[in-house]
């Protein structure tokens, strides 16, 4: 298993542990059934991951709602979720500030954003390359921005940051600086 796969697996397992410890009313707004702490929603603007998600949706006892929507306009009520999991997403969102505000909105009080994202490196030389290559990189990588300052974006959206880990992962330096941790909803 590659380093990225292990990293993503660790973040996902951490999020699933958080989902298992749901609050007192985890009933999704579209459900008329009693509360189910195993409810999960997957958001994708293109629907491309829905094919992959079909494997997960077949698990007995897991209610997964596949929602075609953009992170900048999440179609759920305020305070719906205990946990939001975001992996290698923030870099390619057209409007990360609006998306993070939407994530903040749909989280319950005390909710958490579990994240694993790449972004702006701390070394000045790598930063120069990230900024220089960013326009062309976006054209060949689905809009991915090499130089997003993840902690600053999270704090700007009224998230705290706990257990922040940072470091280079084994790949080319311009994309290897990663941030992972949890961001509790701050009021």
Q: How far is CA 161 from CA 21, 164, 183, 185, in A?
A: 20, 6, 4, 9
Give me the chain's average pLDDT, please: 77
Number of domains, the chain: 1
Q: Are strands 81-87 and 107-118 parallel, antiparallel or unpaired?
A: parallel
Q: What is the CATH number of the domain that holds 116?
A: 3.40.50.150
Residue 33: its pLDDT value, please?
Answer: 35
Contact 81, 108 (CB under 8 A): yes
Q: 143-183 pLDDT, tens per residue? A: 899 999 999 999 999 999 999 999 999 999 999 999 999 99
Contact 149, 92 (CB under 8 A): no
Q: How far is CA 167 from CA 7, 69, 123, in A?
A: 12, 31, 11
Contact 122, 172 (CB under 8 A): no
Contact 44, 50 (CB under 8 A): yes
Sheet with 81-87, edge to edge strand ranges: 81-87, 107-118, 177-184, 162-168
Q: Would you give the end-to-end CA distance of the chain in angstroms?
A: 39
**Residues whose CB is less than 8 angstroms from the CB of residue 105 and which lie 6 or more positions away in sequence, other chains included:** 74, 78
Torsions phi, psi of 168, nearest 5?
Answer: -80, 140
pLDDT score of 110 more than 80: yes
Average pLDDT over residues 34-38: 45
pLDDT score of 26 more than 70: no
Q: Which domain holds residue 80?
A: 3-184
Query: What is the Cα–Cα distance from 133 to 182, expressed in whole angstroms?
Result: 29
């Amino acid at each position: 298993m590659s380093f990225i796969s292990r990293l993503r697996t660790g973040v996902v397992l951490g999020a699933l542990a958080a989902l298992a410890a749901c609050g007192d009313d985890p009933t999704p707004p579209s459900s008329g059934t009693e509360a189910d702490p195993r409810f999960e929603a997957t958001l994708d603007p293109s629907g491309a991951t829905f094919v992959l998600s079909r494997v997960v949706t077949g698990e007995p006892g897991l209610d997964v709602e596949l929602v075609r929507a953009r992170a900048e306009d999440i179609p759920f009520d305020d305070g719906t979720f205990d946990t939001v999991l975001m992996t290698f997403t923030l870099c390619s969102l057209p409007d990360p500030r609006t998306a993070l505000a939407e994530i903040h909105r749909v989280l319950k009080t005390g909710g958490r954003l579990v994240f694993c994202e790449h972004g702006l490196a701390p070394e000045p030389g790598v930063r120069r390359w990230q900024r220089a290559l960013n326009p062309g990189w976006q054209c060949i990588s689905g809009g991915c921005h090499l130089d997003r300052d993840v902690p600053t974006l999270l704090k700007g959206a009224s998230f705290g940051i706990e257990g922040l880990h940072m470091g280079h992962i084994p790949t080319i330096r311009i994309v290897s600086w990663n941030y992972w941790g949890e961001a509790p909803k701050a009021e």
